[in-house]
Amino acid sequence: MSESRVQRPRRFLVCEPRHFAVQYAINPWMQPDRPVDVDLAQEQWQTLIRAYRAHGHSVESVEPVPGLPDMVFAANAACVVGGRVFGSLFHAPERRPESLHYDTWFKAAGYDVYRPESVTEGEGDLVWTGRYVLAGTGFRTTREAHREAQEFLGHPVIGLTLVDPYFYHLDTALFVLDENNICYYPEAFSAGSREVLRRLYPDAVLATREDAMAFGLNSVSDGRNVFIAPRAEALAGRLARHGYVPVPVDLSEFHKAGGGIKCCTQEIR
C-alpha cells in the first residue's frame, strides 16, 4: 500500500542527558543495579537531535539539572497546544522538581503556563491529535487531570485506561501518525478504551506486543517520517506499507529507564 504522506515541520524541546542515570525504580523497566552508559546515552541522544534537524525540524533545549536524572524525558514536562502550556505534577516525588525548571523555560519564552492540581505527566499521557487530546490514565495521570486539561486547553479530552504496567504512559502504547490516524498496541488498553479507539480510528496501524516492548510506540511522526526504535522492525515495515517513511534511531540506553524517542521529545505547538 503506497500513499503520499505530507511532512509538517515541527518544533521540539529537549534536554541533554548530562545527568541521566537509573537511580530509583518507578516503572518495570528501571533496575537501579543495572549500569547506564552515560557516554553512549549522550551519543544516542545527539543522533536523535541530528536526525530531527536533518529532516527540517527545529530543536531547542532546556538546561539539565544535577540530581534530576529523568529530566532528559522532556515529553513528561507538559502538553503544549496552541501556545498554552499545561504543565506537570509528577506521580513520583523524585521527579516533581523537574516541573519547575521546565515551567521556568516556558515562561521565559513567553508562554502561558498552567500548574495542575492533579497528578499528570505531560505528553506522557496527554497526546494531541490535531482535533482533541487522547488522555491516558491507570498508572500515572489521574482522571481529574483530564478534566483540568480540557478546561485549560479548551479542546475535548478523551480518556483511555492503560492496563499493562510495562506501558505505564500513553506514549508507550500509542502515537499520532498524522491528523487523521494513529498507531497503537490494543492490548495495552482496557476493553472499553479499545472500543473507543476502534471507533475513532478504524484504519489505525496496529502494533503487536513485540513492537511495543521494543519501544516502537514511543515514536515521533511528522506526518511522513516516523522516528522509530530500530528493534521495532516489523512495525516499521507495516508503517512503510502505509506510506510512511521509518527513520530508525537507537535510543536503547534510555530504555533502561523506560523511555525512548518520544519520551525525549516535547513538541511545542
Side chain identity at residue 31, one-letter code: Q
| Distance between CA atoms of residues 233 and 235, nearest Å | 5
| Catalytic-labelled residue, pool 15, 183, 263, 264 | 263
Find the distance separating the first CA and the last CA of the chain, reported in whole Å: 31
Whether residue 182 contacts residue 175, with contact meaning beta carbons closer than 8 Å, is answered with: yes
Nearest to 55 by CA among 223, 261, 259, 212: 223
For residue 264, which of 76, 106, 58 has the smallest C-alpha distance? 76
Cα–Cα nearest to 30, from 255, 267, 263, 261? 255
Q: Which of 57, 91, 146, 169 is catalytic?
A: 169
Instruction: Establish whether 15 is a catalytic residue.
Output: no
Active site residue 263: yes
For 1, residues 6+ apart whose C-beta sits below 8 A from its C-beta are: 241, 242, 243
What distance in Å separates the CA atoms of residue 218 and residue 254, rounded to the nearest whole number? 11
**Residues labelled catalytic:** 169, 263
